[in-house]
Amino acid sequence: MSHPESKDYFGAKLGMWLFLFTELLLFGGLFLLYAVYLRRYPQEFAAAGKQLNWVMGTANTVILLTSSLFAAMAVSAVQRDELRRTVLLILGTILCAAGFMVIKYFEWSAKIGHGIYPGSEHLKAGSPGESVFFSLYFMTTGIHGLHVLIGGALLAWIALKVKGGSVTANDFVLLENGALYWHLVDLIWIFIFPLYYLVL
Amino acid sequence: MSTERPPLTSFWNDTGRTGITSWIFSTDHKRIGLLYFFTTFGFFLVGVMLGLVLRIELMAPGRTIMGPTTYNAVFTVHGVVMIFLFILPGLPGAFGNLVMPIQVGARDVAFPRLNLLSWWLYVSGAAIVLTSLFTGGGPPDTGWTFYVPFSARTGTNVTLALFGVFIIGFSAILTGLNFITTIHRLRAPGMTWGRLPLFVWSIYATAWVQILATPILAITLVLVMAERLLGTGLFDPAKGGDPLMFQHMFWIYSHPAVYIMILPAMGVISDIIPVFSRKPIFGYKMIAFSSLAIAAAGSLVWGHHMFVSGMSDTAVLVFSFLTFIVAIPSAIKVFNWVSTLYKGSISLEAPMLFALSFILLFSIGGLSGLILGAAATDVHVHDTHFVVGHFHYVMFGGAGFAFFGAMHFWLPKFFGRRYAEKPAVVAWALMFIGFNVLYFTMQVLGMKGMPRRYYDYLPEFATLNLVSTIGSWILACGLVIMLVNLFRGLLKGEPVDSNPWGGASLEWTIPTPPPTENFVEEPVVTHGPYDFTRAGEA
């Protein structure tokens, strides 16, 4: 049997999309809990949601949307074989990811400083709805933050591959899949942001 | 009996690499399939040992060989090992990997390195689960369902076991997306969707369930771990949470998961029966469609595990109704298998015997499932040995017997040698008899009201429990004979040619054992998988 080592781009992207579905479903479980508990504790959720800092949330939304733009531009750049620009754009994405995590850090420390964290005395003393809200908030944003870190690391590795010359205009499905993953991280935040910061 | 080695053209030796690393770092789907086979089957034997120990404890009322705490740990570990380490990864991982790529006419799966990663994740997860048994607060004692609030509070090593299962979930997701991509992208020229062997269809449906359901299990396990480590309280009523939400989320995964276990088994049966009936499968399209229908409908019925949990009556009614809908595609399969037998030229060799007993045992298990699916009757037999009997009829009599059938049907193809027929039939007969004595008795005990998950019982259940335990010994004897005969045959038995059974799907057109790249030249498929007039041709 002859061995033409042709890469199946469509197949590689199909695999990535299937993986993204599983990520959506993972967060789907958390959104399901949000829906059920929101219906059970509407007032407590509203009161607790007001305690979140919407300025920081908005800043992070803008940062993530910008990072996704950079990621999409990096894919366009690699298609035109502008490898230097590709690396710079990926670094822009990673920088945004870092900015997101820094803001998240300040947001979390402010909450923890006020005694609001899973299992805290403050939450135990408060209403059960508030405790559930903040537990969900920390779990959801925590797992999302983990995805930001993983996505950032993934893109950094791909940037090295671009620099090393194994991702080029002829073979860029790795970068495209990395960018797809990054858009997913962005997309999930687009759901988290209104649910926790805005609608309550 | 010949002693010559297989020719130097098979995947056993044609890469020139030898030693353990040529296996555990191989990206060849056949080697990975065999790795899966030996690891999952090894865990199956561990699970069997634990099951036999449980039956010895229940042989007589009162304490026989262990106390309640040990009993709780043993049935938990039996369940976790059998479900998460054997039956979920077993058929897709072992036979999905071994056979499916060849059946679609591919050289390998779509992502060979990812496939190897799946196996490594599985082995790592299994190692973590095993570690949890011997460290910390000792083996988990929650049952394989990990129900809160007990799983959130017990001092045993639940967190680590959950983490191991979480890792194994990753492995299942990666296998699933790999198989779906393979079936979509790597079919040989002429291998249309209507010419796919039904085993491939069932693996395809299974892969979708693996992808769509497993993430929910993952997040649920993460939340229980967070509950134990951080005190998040999302399932703790004292902190505003609801334990019922755990049950919902657990079963949103775990009910579809039973279809991960049974669908590939149905695929095995759909491939064995026409070969040994020398007749094309009856209702190809309906069997293929019913696999997808089972996968879809099976994802909507999780609530039937929760009829007595305090869920609303409306929900009970809806879930009960949906449960009955799953019976339709399952029955479609059974009727089509039986219709395939009709006026066939039936040859009762070992794989066929396993397939035929699958039909009977699965039907008993499926019909007893309807008793549990109807809310009115479920309330009476809930959490009794009736459930244990039902579950084992479907999972062991169904998926387990199909696994044995697949071992007899396909492993000779990969080893180049076969087992002796007579001991295989004797082993099958012993297992079939032992199985029914063991589990039918359990169903009767359940009807009489014996609850499950207790190490002790009322004296009036003593006789039937003794009968059941004796059944477990008969089953174990059959299993030992099967193992000795099968593996002895695979290593030293008679050599087999490329098509020992006269099958018409692609795996029977290539040399035995297959070369690393499977096909000597790229196949162009010209006929369906059950067109026996052209068996042996692509």
Architecture of domain B32-529: Up-down Bundle (1.20)
Contact between A131 and B240 using a beta-carbon 8 Å cutoff = yes
For the cut 80, the answer to whether the pLDDT of residue B538 exceeds it is no
ipTM of the complex in this document:
0.93
Find the DSSP H helices in B58-157: 68-80, 88-90, 97-103, 112-134, 150-153
- What does the alpha-carbon distance between residue B71 and residue B297 come to, in Å, rounded to a whole number? 35
For the cut 60, the answer to whether the pLDDT of residue A5 exceeds it is no
Give A55-60 contacts, CB < 8 A, sequence gap 24+: A56/A103, A56/A106, A56/A107, A57/A107, A57/A193, A57/A196, A57/A197, A57/A198, A58/A193, A58/A197, A59/A103, A60/A100, A60/A103, A60/A104, A60/A189, A60/A193
CA dihedral sign, ordered B140, B142, B143, B148: negative
Do the beta carbons of residue A140 and residue A192 sit within 8 Å? Answer: yes
Q: φ and ψ at B448, to 5 degrees?
A: -80, -10
Q: What is the pLDDT of residue B2?
A: 46
User: Which of B211, B217, B232, B242 best tests the A interface by mutation, with the highest count of A CBs <10 A?
Assistant: B232
Cβ neighbours of A21 in B, within 8 Å:
211-212
Q: Residue A168 pairs with which residues in a beta bridge?
A: A171
- What does the alpha-carbon distance between residue B455 and residue B139 come to, in Å, rounded to a whole number? 17
Query: Would you list the DSSP string of B473-501?
Result: HHHHHHHHHHHHHHHHHHHHS-B--S-TT
Q: Indicate the domain borders of chain B.
A: 32-529
Do the beta carbons of residue B500 and residue B412 sit within 8 Å? Answer: yes
pLDDT digits (tens, 9 = 90+) for A136-149: 999 999 999 999 99
The C-alpha angle with vertex A162 and arms to A161 and A168, in degrees rounded to 5, equals: 120
Contact between A11 and B215 using a beta-carbon 8 Å cutoff = no
Do the beta carbons of residue B149 and residue B236 sit within 8 Å? Answer: yes
Q: φ and ψ at B417, to 5 degrees?
A: -135, 160
- What does the alpha-carbon distance between residue B256 and residue B329 come to, in Å, rounded to a whole number? 15
- What does the alpha-carbon distance between residue B289 and residue B398 come to, in Å, rounded to a whole number? 20
First to last CA, chain B: 30
> Among A39-43, A124-128, B49-53, whose mean pLDDT is lowest?
A124-128
Contact between B239 and A135 using a beta-carbon 8 Å cutoff = yes
Q: Answer whether residue A43 is part of any domain.
A: no
- Whether the CB of A14 is below 8 Å from some CB of chain B: the reply is yes
Task: Residue A29: name the closest of A147, A146, A191, A140 by CA.
Answer: A140
Provide the 3-class DSSP secondary structure of residue B397: helix
Given the structure tokens 């769509």, which residue do they identify? B212
Provide the 3-class DSSP secondary structure of residue B451: strand
Contact between B114 and A3 using a beta-carbon 8 Å cutoff = no
Task: Residue B407: name the closest of B175, B94, B93 by CA.
Answer: B94
Share above pLDDT 90 across residues of chain A, in percent, rounded to a whole number: 86
Indicate the helix (H) or strand (E) that contains A33: helix A9-40
> Which residues of B lie inside 8 Å of A (Cβ-Cβ)?
107, 110-111, 114, 173, 176-178, 180-181, 184-186, 211-212, 214-216, 218-220, 222-223, 226, 230-234, 239-242, 245, 249, 517, 519-522
How does residue B504 score in pLDDT terms, banded at 50, 70 and 90? very high
And the tokens for B294? 């089972």
Q: Answer whether residue A94 is part of any domain.
A: yes
Provide the 3-class DSSP secondary structure of residue B362: helix
State how far residue B187 is from chain A, nearest Cα, in angstroms: 12
DSSP letter, residue B346: -
Mean pLDDT of A182-200: 94
Q: Answer whether residue A170 is part of any domain.
A: yes
Provide the 3-class DSSP secondary structure of residue A168: strand
3-state helix, strand, coil in chain B (%, to 5): 70, 0, 30
Q: Give the contacts of B41 (CB within 8 A, at least 6 positions apart).
A: B86, B90, B94
CA dihedral sign, ordered B470, B453, B130, B250: positive
Do the beta carbons of residue A44 and residue A133 sit within 8 Å? Answer: yes
Share above pLDDT 70 across residues of chain B, in percent, rounded to a whole number: 99
- What does the alpha-carbon distance between residue B255 and residue B261 come to, in Å, rounded to a whole number? 10
Length of chain B: 538
Find how far residue A92's CA is from the centre of its chain. 16
Provide the 3-class DSSP secondary structure of residue A146: helix
Q: How many domains does chain A have?
A: 1
pLDDT digits (tens, 9 = 90+) for B22-45: 999 999 999 999 999 999 999 999
Mean pLDDT of B420-449: 96
And the tokens for B238? 């004292």
- CATH number of the domain enclosing A109: 1.20.120.80
Q: Give the contacts of B374 (CB within 8 A, at least 6 positions apart).
A: B320, B324
pLDDT digits (tens, 9 = 90+) for B67-126: 999 999 999 999 999 999 999 999 999 999 999 999 999 999 999 999 999 999 999 999
Provide the 3-class DSSP secondary structure of residue B507: helix
Task: Residue B160: name the closest of B187, B185, B135 by CA.
Answer: B135
Closest residue in chain B to residue A131, using alpha carbons only: B239
pLDDT digits (tens, 9 = 90+) for A33-52: 999 999 999 999 999 999 99
Q: Answer whether residue A136 is part of any domain.
A: yes
Q: Give the contacts of B455 (CB within 8 A, at least 6 positions apart).
A: B57, B58, B63, B66, B67, B68, B71, B72
Provide the 3-class DSSP secondary structure of residue B518: coil
Q: Which of A27, A36, A119 sits opposite B232 (nearest CB)?
A: A119
- What does the alpha-carbon distance between residue A94 and residue A149 come to, in Å, rounded to a whole number? 9
Quick check: pTM over 0.90? yes
Indicate the helix (H) or strand (E) that contains B433: helix B421-447
- Whether the CB of A137 is below 8 Å from some CB of chain B: the reply is no
For the cut 70, the answer to whether the pLDDT of residue A3 exceeds it is no
- Whether the CB of A29 is below 8 Å from some CB of chain B: the reply is yes
CA distances from B235 to A28, A119, B151, B226, B404 (A): 17, 13, 11, 10, 40
Task: Residue B156: name the closest of B233, B250, B74 by CA.
Answer: B74
Contact between B215 and A37 using a beta-carbon 8 Å cutoff = no
- What does the alpha-carbon distance between residue B530 and residue A81 come to, in Å, rounded to a whole number? 50
For the cut 80, the answer to whether the pLDDT of residue B1 exceeds it is no
- Whether the CB of A182 is below 8 Å from some CB of chain B: the reply is no
Contact between A29 and B107 using a beta-carbon 8 Å cutoff = no
Instruction: Please state, rounded to an integer, the average pLDDT across all residues of chain B.
Output: 93
Range of the domain at A109: 53-198
CA dihedral sign, ordered A133, A138, A141, A143: negative
CA distances from B365 to B144, B270, B327, B443 (A): 20, 18, 11, 10
Given the structure tokens 């010949």, which residue do they identify? B2
